Amino acid sequence: MSLLELTDVTRSVRLPDDRVLEILRGVTLAVDTGEHVAVVGRSGTGKSTLLNILGLLDAPTDGEYLLEGVPIGRLSARERTRRRGRDFGFVFQQFNLLPGRTALENVAAPLMYAPGRQFWRRRTLAAQMLERVGLGDRLDTMPEKLSGGEQQRVAIARALVRGPRVILADEPTGALDVETGQEVMGLLDEIASLTGAALVTITHDLAVAARAQRHYRLAEGVLVPVDLGGAGHEWVGDVPTLPGARRLPQVPGGVAGVPELSRPVPARTEQ
Ligand SMILES: Nc1ncnc2c1ncn2[C@@H]1O[C@H](COP(=O)(O)OP(=O)(O)OP(=O)(O)O)[C@@H](O)[C@H]1O
Ligand SMILES: [Mg+2]
């Protein structure tokens, strides 16, 4: 049994002029614990819609979504909300941090809804998580005082603080320069593999996609597997990306597969 399993999932919306827009036309995807799956595709092809469905923020129009073997349609709204908070961590392009709240308060925020022990220990857990992403010395800093890369690291700490089974990242490097983006993805990969969480990354950047074990392109409402290792990347022209981004990058710090969660990310000046 897969952790997440979509079968022939569709999502359509009725537009104000009464036309029906078919965003997803039959998506089938299975993701197992510990897997990293990347989805690329042009703007407007439904990538965020797909991620929102996976993260229980949206529901399929048709088709089946099994979460640990349970059809999500069978869960009550309350149970869906509970599962979303407990099982999923979200990372967005624009970080979506709460302004006017410190890094620590931002990371502790999801623990406000956690059961007893996590709730009572929320500040400690948040501080530990910020330590792990290399921001142990910025606990009381406001997000607006942090660089983009640092803000995304806070967002990663927030996504991971409840120990989710699945991390859903929607263009996590979209607002960062290439080097910082790679650093952030290295961190996300490392923590995901250490905690055994599944990671689904949506990206326009092939270098980011290359970090995943499986790759798909979303086009015309369906997911098509793509082989990044194969010759003739015929799909490259379809995906806006940066020159040279096809080369598989080194993980910052060079520690892929050697999870040391407590090791802070090296400062950029050390690279
Ligand atoms: N609730 C909605 N009502 C109407 N149209 C919608 C709705 N949600 C999504 N769409 C449309 O569906 C299409 C897919 O949207 P989505 O945000 O999933 O694309 P995307 O692949 O994430 O794009 P991008 O790469 O630009 O973020 C878009 O054309 C969008 O305008
Ligand atoms: Mg999107």
Instruction: Kindly report, residue by residue over 122-137, the tens digit of the pLDDT.
Output: 999 999 999 999 999 9
**Higher pLDDT among residues 173 and 258, named by residue:** 173
Instruction: State mean pLDDT over 251-269.
Output: 36
21 lines ligand 1 (CB under 6 A): yes
> What pLDDT shows up at residue 236?
44
44 lines ligand 1 (CB under 6 A): yes
Mutate to test the pocket of ligand 1, among 42, 47, 168 (most ligand atoms within 8 A of CB): 47
> What pLDDT shows up at residue 206?
87
Distance 226 CA to ligand 2 centre (A): 20
Instruction: State mean pLDDT over 97-112.
Output: 96
CA distance 143 to 101: 7
Confidence of residue 254 (pLDDT cuts 50, 70, 90): very low
Q: How many CB atoms lie within 10 A of CB 84?
A: 15
Full set of structural domains in the chain with CATH: 4-228 (3.40.50.300)
Query: pLDDT at residue 242 above 70?
Result: no
Query: pLDDT at residue 270 above 60?
Result: no
Q: Which atom of ligand 1 is nearest to the CA of 42?
A: 25
Instruction: State mean pLDDT over 5-23.
Output: 97
49 lines ligand 1 (CB under 6 A): yes
Tokens of 141: 């800093």
Distance 32 CA to ligand 1 centre (A): 26
Mutate to test the pocket of ligand 1, among 17, 45, 58 (most ligand atoms within 8 A of CB): 45
CA distance 134 to 65: 36
Sign of CA dihedral 52, 58, 61, 63: positive
Tokens of 29: 């995807």
| β-pairing verdict for 62-67 and 4-14 | antiparallel
Amino acid identity, position 119:
F
Give the pTM. 0.85
Burial 197-220 (b: 16+ CB within 10 A, else e): bbbbbbbbbbbbbbbbebbbbbbe
* 155 SS3 class: helix
